[in-house]
Amino acid sequence: MLELTVEDVAGHKTRDDLWVIIHGKVYDVTKYIRDHPGGADVLLDVAGTDATAAYEDAGHSEDAEEIMQTYLVGTLKDATQFVRKAAVRVVQQTVQPVVESKPSSQIRKVAAAGSVAGLLSLVYYASSRRGSSHLPEALHHIQAHLPGLNRLLPSAMTDTRSPYGGFINGFAAAALLSAIIGGVAGMQLSKLTHIDSGFTRYPPRIKCKPSPKADPHSIPGFLNPKDYKTLPLVQKDLLAPNVYRFVFKLPAPTDVVGLPVGQHVAIKATVNGQSVSRSYTPTSNNLDRGYLELVIKCYPDGLLTGQYLANLQVGEKVHFRGPKGAMKYKRNLCKKIGMIAGGTGITPMYQLIRAICEDERDTTEISLVYANRSEGDILLREELEAFARRYPKQFTLYYMLDVAPEDWKYGTGYVTPEVMAARLPKPAADTKVFLCGPPGMINAAKKGLVSLGFEAPGAVGRMTDQIFCF
């Protein structure tokens, strides 16, 4: 492998000859300019320089690392290790409010019981001294406030005909009564401080609500996100010029691919001695058992598509890995979704349209603008129009062509902001727009949507973005 200097790389900084340095390695990305998700301008800004910092700031995925290996031309002489600047984190201390505790009603009752005990002692004392006839009335009054007293007091103390008298008898009775009430108070306090725990504090049976039905698109299946696995090609159909439908057979007829809605798979192959990897979104999903289906445009000059997939024969095996991608769609993610697709960029859109329309619990409204050069280039047309007929209130479809026939009832030309305003939902907190297609078209669509009031997305697509780019 070549060892290059910074000066060597600096001489390759044009659109037709573009090199960059990333983590001490030199890449010739001239042929990748048109396919770069961030657009050609992003690469031109760092042409001929060390682009490590920009690469890291953009937060590239594993896909990018695999793609880069295709364009590796050498290493940088005297390269230094890239060190990301540490982020400063500000920690704010919060003061917890002091909550003034109030005695519970039970504690107040216990305190009152103690006061009654002391009062009763005085009553007995006074009665024994003066032989008062008011003792029965005092007892009855106290018993009315302490209903459990009858069970605890000796019958002689509640009997008004009792022969007890005198100071000593009265004092002894009062002391006994005070002890009994103190015991009651102790039991109440014990209940307050006792912590119930263990299975005995729960009823013997607990009714459980039935768990909701599992989402079929979240079921794991054949794919593995870390390791490549092989599948044989069983069907290959030409849908349009250089566009093929590939059908691969899973190990068993009941197997599922294990691909969440919005995710894609990576295909790896060795072409001309080079290891090449690219990512594609299947048009099949977990409802399609026993097979994996892909619609791919094979560019004549493409290393993986033109030289490998275009020549792939039925029976040959292909290496797959996944699921991959930032898109993880969930039912009713938002109220309305607008879609702009170009060419084979329809595949992730079709996957989402299928999942939403086929799920009776998903009420999301979808508006698709699908752009192509000619009518013959429209992919999955029958399937898309079938969904539009079957779910007219949920899915609307509008085509745009560069060259249209005379009786064409849809749009012609570019997907302009005027077309977007007329055919897509308006900007709102519960609205998203998804984009997939050629980089030039996507960059223009981003600018048009931002001019209409949508929030500009970051360099790397995230589910929180109002404009999401596949």
One DSSP character per residue, 106-147 reads HHHHHHHHHHHHHHHHHHHHHHHHHT-TTHHHHHHHHHHH-T
What is the mean predicted confidence (pLDDT) over 177-192?
56
Residue whose structure tokens are 């009763």? 120
Last residue of a domain, one of 48, 76, 104: 76
CATH number at residue 364: 3.40.50.80
* Res. 220 pLDDT band, cuts 50 70 90: confident
* Residues 253 and 353 placed together within one structural domain of the fold: no
* Residues 308 and 381 placed together within one structural domain of the fold: no
* Residues 347 and 454 placed together within one structural domain of the fold: yes
> Is 347 annotated as ligand-binding?
yes
Residues in the chain: 470
**Containing structural domain, residue 320:** 229-324
Catalytic residue chosen out of the listed positions 52, 70, 281, 344: 281
Examine residue 455 and state whether it is found in any structural domain, yes or no. Answer: yes
Is 281 considered catalytic here? yes
* Residues 342 and 465 placed together within one structural domain of the fold: yes
* Residues 424 and 347 placed together within one structural domain of the fold: yes
* Residues 406 and 348 placed together within one structural domain of the fold: yes
CATH number at residue 235: 2.40.30.10
Question: Mean of the per-residue pLDDT values for the chain?
Answer: 78
Please tell me the predicted confidence (pLDDT) of residue 23. Answer: 87
What is the mean predicted confidence (pLDDT) over 417-435?
96
Range of lowest pLDDT (5-9, 45-49, 360-364, 386-390): 45-49
Please tell me the predicted confidence (pLDDT) of residue 199. Answer: 40
Number of domains in the chain: 3
Buried-exposed string 212-221: b where 16+ CB fall within 10 A, e elsewhere? eeeeebeeee
* Residues 446 and 340 placed together within one structural domain of the fold: yes
DSSP letter, residue 312 = -
Catalytic residue chosen out of the listed positions 70, 71, 217, 264: 264
Nearest to residue 326, comparing CAs of 60, 33, 65? Answer: 60
pTM of the prediction? 0.60
| DSSP 3-state of 348 | helix
Tokens standing for 237?
Answer: 């159909």
Examine residue 206 and state whether it is found in any structural domain, yes or no. Answer: no
What is the mean predicted confidence (pLDDT) over 459-467?
82
Cis peptide bond prior to 323, omega within 30° of 0 = yes
Please tell me the predicted confidence (pLDDT) of residue 195. Answer: 47
Angle (CA) 55 58 59, round 5°: 95
| DSSP 3-state of 376 | helix
For 191-205, how does the pLDDT look when each residue is reduced to its tens digit (9 = 90+)? Answer: 555 544 444 444 444
Other Cβ atoms closer than 10 A to 292: 27
Examine residue 390 and state whether it is found in any structural domain, yes or no. Answer: yes
* Residues 390 and 443 placed together within one structural domain of the fold: yes
> Is 433 annotated as ligand-binding?
no
Rounded distance, CA 245 to CA 268, Å? Answer: 18
Rounded distance, CA 119 to CA 114, Å? Answer: 9
Residue 162 has pLDDT above 50, yes or no: no
Examine residue 319 and state whether it is found in any structural domain, yes or no. Answer: yes
Question: How distant, in Å, are the alpha carbons of 117, 244, 246, 315, 343 from that of 311?
Answer: 101, 11, 12, 12, 21
Provide, rounded to the nearest whole percent, the portion of the chain with pLDDT above 90: 43
Is 280 considered catalytic here? yes
CATH number at residue 70: 3.10.120.10
Last residue of a domain, one of 301, 324, 347: 324
Rounded distance, CA 426 to CA 336, Å? Answer: 9
Phi and psi, residue 165, nearest 5°: -170, 175
Catalytic residue chosen out of the listed positions 298, 357, 436, 469: 436
Examine residue 351 and state whether it is found in any structural domain, yes or no. Answer: yes
> Is 84 annotated as ligand-binding?
no
- CA quadruple 155, 156, 162, 165: dihedral sign: negative
Residue 413 has pLDDT above 90, yes or no: yes
DSSP assignment of 397-448: EEEEESS--TT--SEES---HHHHHHHSPPP-TTEEEEEES-HHHHHHHHHH
Residue whose structure tokens are 């092989």? 230
Tokens standing for 94?
Answer: 């919060």
* Side-chain half-sphere exposure of 143, counting CA atoms within 13 A: 14
Rounded distance, CA 161 to CA 437, Å? Answer: 105
Q: Which residue has the higher pLDDT, 217 or 440?
A: 440
Residue 126 has pLDDT above 50, yes or no: no
- What is the rounded (10 degree) CA torsion for 53, 55, 59, 62? -130
Cβ(258)–Cβ(219) below 8 Å: yes
Range of lowest pLDDT (150-154, 351-355, 457-461): 150-154
Sequence-distant (6+) residues with CB within 8 A of 101 are none
| DSSP 3-state of 92 | coil
Please tell me the predicted confidence (pLDDT) of residue 77. Answer: 82
DSSP letter, residue 260 = -
Examine residue 204 and state whether it is found in any structural domain, yes or no. Answer: no
Rounded distance, CA 330 to CA 206, Å? Answer: 31
Please tell me the predicted confidence (pLDDT) of residue 130. Answer: 47
* Residues 301 and 387 placed together within one structural domain of the fold: no
* Residues 379 and 303 placed together within one structural domain of the fold: no
What is the mean predicted confidence (pLDDT) over 218-241?
91
Question: How distant, in Å, are the alpha carbons of 206, 321, 347, 379, 470 from that of 344?
Answer: 53, 20, 6, 7, 12
* Residues 281 and 388 placed together within one structural domain of the fold: no
Q: What's the farthest any 2 CA atoms get from each other in the chain?
A: 124
Examine residue 424 and state whether it is found in any structural domain, yes or no. Answer: yes
* Residues 309 and 378 placed together within one structural domain of the fold: no
Examine residue 365 and state whether it is found in any structural domain, yes or no. Answer: yes
Catalytic residue chosen out of the listed positions 280, 308, 350, 399: 280
For 299-314, how does the pLDDT look when each residue is reduced to its tens digit (9 = 90+)? Answer: 888 889 999 999 999 9
Rounded distance, CA 28 to CA 43, Å? Answer: 11
Rounded distance, CA 283 to CA 293, Å? Answer: 6
Last residue of a domain, one of 280, 295, 324: 324
Tokens standing for 174?
Answer: 């009062």
